[in-house]
Amino acid sequence: MRAISRLATPCTPGYAFPRMTAISALVEGTTSFPPPPAPPSPATERTPFAFIGERLWLDFVNSDSARSLDALRDFETLTVWLQAATLLDTERALGMRRRAREQPTGAAAALVDARRVRTALRSLAERGAGMNLGEQVRYEALGEINRVLGRSAGTRRVERRGDGTYARAFVPVGDAFAGLMIPIVESAADALILGELPRVRRCADIRCARVFYDGTKNGRRRWCDMATCGNRAKAARHRQKLRAPAD
C-alpha cells in the first residue's frame, strides 16, 4: 500500500515515470523512484545533424547528408534542424509545430520552399566559384536569395543564448513560415558580399557530399571533418603503405 501511495504523490511537473519503473516498484515493494532526469543543456544535447560547414548556409546544404537525418524529410525534422542550428529556441519551435498542425498546407509549402532554397545553395557551394558556369550559378542563387528576402517582413534583433553567447535573430511578422529561411539566405548573401566562394570546398572523399568553408591560412583543407573522412583517408594511406613492400 505504501508503494501505491507513493505513486499517487504529485510528481515533478512535466515528468512522468516510465511504466516499467512503476510496475517494478509495485512488484518488488520498493518505495523509492529514480529522480527525474535533468533537461539536456544546449551544449550536451545530442543531435542527428552535423555542423561542420563553418557557415550557416553550408550547414544547411549539408543537412541532406546520407550520414545524418535529412532535415527536409518533413516539417518536423526541419524544425528540429532549426533548433539544432540555434535558429529557433524551444518556445518558438513549439509555436511553429502548433502552427503546422493548425495550417498543414502552409507547413507543406514551407517545406517545399526550403528544399528549393537548399538546391540552389548546393549549386552555389559546388559550382558558384567558377568563371563561366559559376557566373550563371551565382546569378540564379542571387535570384533565389532575393526572392526569400523580398517576401518576408520581420524584426531583426540580437538574442542571448543559453550558453551565454549572443546571436542575431529574425522574428517574422505575419506569415511565420515565410521567415524560416531568412537567416540561411542571409548567410549565403554574406558569402557573396565578402567574396568567400573561392574558399568553399567539397569534401575530398568522393563518397561524401558535404561542403565547408576553408578558413585555414594556406587554404589547403581537404576534408569536411578529420574525425570521419580525414581519419578514413589516413587509415587508407596507412594500409596502402603496409601493402607496398609486398608488391
**Chain segment 25-55, per-residue pLDDT in tens:** 333 443 343 444 444 434 335 667 889 999 9
82 pLDDT band, cuts 50/70/90, is very high
3-state secondary structure of 84: helix
Across the chain, mean pLDDT equals 78
Confidence label for 152 from pLDDT (cuts 50, 70 and 90): confident
Q: What's the confidence (pLDDT) of residue 48? A: 77
Whether 199 shows a pLDDT value over 50: the answer reads: yes
Highest mean pLDDT, choosing among 8-12, 79-83, 166-170 = 79-83
Write down the pLDDT at residue 195.
95
- Count the neighbouring beta carbons within 10 Å of the beta carbon of residue 169: 19
Please write the tens of the pLDDT for every residue from 121-134: 999 999 999 888 89
Grid cell listed for 207? 563518397
Q: Which 8-state DSSP code applies to residue 168?
A: E
> Considering only CA atoms, which of 92, 96, 93, 123 is closest in space to residue 110?
96
Instruction: Taking residues 202-219, report their average pLDDT.
Output: 90
Report the alpha-carbon angle 47-48-52, nearest 5.
Answer: 85
pLDDT at 212 exceeding the cut of 90: yes
